[in-house]
A = this chain, B = another copy of it.
Amino acid sequence: MKRLELIGLEGIGEVRGGDSVGALICDACSRQNFGLLDADVLVVAQKIVSKAEGRTICLDDVQPSARAIELAEQLDKEPALVEVILRESREIVRMGGRALIVETHHGFICANAGVDQSNVGLRQVALLPKDPDGSARAIRNEIQRRTGKEPAVIISDSFGRPWRVGTVDVAVGVSGLKSIKDERGMSDRYGYQLKAAVAAVADEIAAAAELVMGKRDGVPVVIVRGCEIDKENGSVRELLRPEAEDLFRHF
């Protein structure tokens, strides 16, 4: 029977600015005699990538603009936090209640531009990596250099969704696999030509990994083994729907 396994990589420890996430992963694997395979997919929590890249800010060091102060009042958020979110955003997509949904400079539509206060230290916030595909590639290159193996790498973050309660992890950066599996035009078992058969594989892998990571468990890396992926080099941009084709963008 077809099997897929997810293994939480323990022992990564606290990540600091300047650390190499790829090196930390290799060290944790060798301490536990765990050998990576070329066919593995590594899912790495955005939080440790951001920390390693120094993408953290202390809110006490942020001078909020007049606009941030005004929005902060409406949203009942801290002005310095709103300032950081605005700096990370290309556009505000929707505001309501305490929610601020924006498009980031990368093109992600998500709450608070992915700026996150959990698991980074008090008064600190973590920003998304500047070039998440590049971050994934750097991790992959370092693993390849050290072990000779080339697993694919997905950087994941927890995003909310319209209409449904709760977050689901999605891919924010990708290296070494195609993010989508497009079977449009192929036939099903009855000869019906599939019309809507594009699966967001990288997002599904990220969602699966969250089940092992948890929010408070400190398991920031999950090895996914046995997943059929297309090793063609992909990008998280494959997952971003063009603005003109989106029905929930402008109102």
Verify B162–A162 contact, CB threshold 8 A: yes
**CB within 8 Å for A166 and B203 given contacts A97-B245, A122-B191, A247-B101:** yes
CB-contact partner of A122 in B2, B190, B203, B214, under 8 A: B190
Q: Which residues of B contact A1 (CB under 8 A)?
A: 7-10, 32, 34
Q: Which residues of B contact A7 (CB under 8 A)?
A: 1-3
- A121 on the B face (CB < 8 A): yes
Interface of chain A, main secondary structure: loop
Closest to A191 in B: B122
Verify A188–B204 contact, CB threshold 8 A: no
Closest to A215 in B: B197
Total count of chain A residues near the partner, CB < 8 A: 82
- A238 on the B face (CB < 8 A): yes
Interface centre among A10, A186, A239 (most CB of B within 10 A): A239
Q: Which residues of B contact A165 (CB under 8 A)?
A: 180, 198, 200, 238-241
- A205 on the B face (CB < 8 A): yes
**CB within 8 Å for A204 and B203 given contacts A162-B248, A194-B118:** no
Verify B239–A166 contact, CB threshold 8 A: yes
**CB within 8 Å for A163 and B198 given contacts A5-B4, A216-B188:** no
CB-contact partner of A196 in B94, B160, B191, under 8 A: B160
Q: Which 9 A-B pairs have the closest CB atoms?
A: A166-B200, A208-B208, A162-B248, A2-B8, A207-B207, A109-B163, A4-B6, A166-B198, A204-B207
Pull 11 A–B residue pairs with CB atoms less than 8 Å apart, ordered by A.
Answer: A1-B10, A1-B32, A1-B34, A2-B219, A5-B6, A118-B195, A163-B246, A165-B238, A168-B168, A189-B216, A203-B207
